[in-house]
Structure 1
């Protein structure tokens, strides 16, 4: 797997998070409850952050 493929796959996995809008009143759901909760991915030696303030890729 090449770096670009890994990045695309991690972004796809990040689809389980909803977009959080700063300044929006009230609570916002972090998790997209339509997706299975077991899809958290861990890859040893890789650090990747997903900004939930941006829409899914």
Structure 2
């Protein structure tokens, strides 16, 4: 199991974007949303492989 580095990565990105002023929250929500979408998409692909590709193999 890999260590959870997501909060650390988010913090680094937010620190980089500090000079954008009011876009702080927008950036944070964009990061959270993109990670969530990626996680859902990744789970979908894994499930597709596990339940569709693997059983159809002879």
Q: Report which of the two has the higher share of helix.
A: 2
TM-score normalised by structure 2 residue count = 0.30
Provide the TM-score with structure 1 as the length reference: 0.30
